[in-house]
Structure 1
């Protein structure tokens, strides 16, 4: 393989991420693409968790944990072309985040060798 072709493959969108296609029975059997989280998404998640530890309000801690997990999940969910589906619009996702989302996030985390 020539260098130009190799560079194109290595630098293509999502070339640095493992991904998997998953059927979600709870969502009418649709198929989604999950990829492992980006470094940026991990950083935001970790920073949010650090901030949570400084908070003494148990209800607020719970809400912030859900928010952090939902945003991390959003960074792993792609369309069939590899484009991230959520782009900074997390309100509905956070409000409706549940066990199915969490299960899918765990599958995405497993791609990077980190079980959720």
Structure 2
């Protein structure tokens, strides 16, 4: 798939003639180019699926994830029973000591961490 040229809408990588560099991730991985740092961490103990990764941007205090937490409409009440995926994500943030202010769920709106915490009764 990555060997095929992008002829429909070539981006800078396609125009450069270089091949993409793929990096497999089995544990945590930190990418750093000096001023920017990106942390990639496996999400352990997910009740949804194994192999999930989260991406943390320390400068923005932003956690990017998919499927562990999809927020409802703004102001919606917490569920009567805590969702195991939500609790797993809270445990993940706390175990790694991530300083998260906002969460970017790939299936929902950007939310403050306090919305996730309210969903788990905290």
Which structure features the higher share of helix residues? 1
Which structure features the higher share of strand residues? 2
Between the two structures, name the one with larger relative contact order (CA 8 Å, sep ≥ 6): 1
Larger Rg over CA atoms: 2
TM-score by length of 1: 0.30
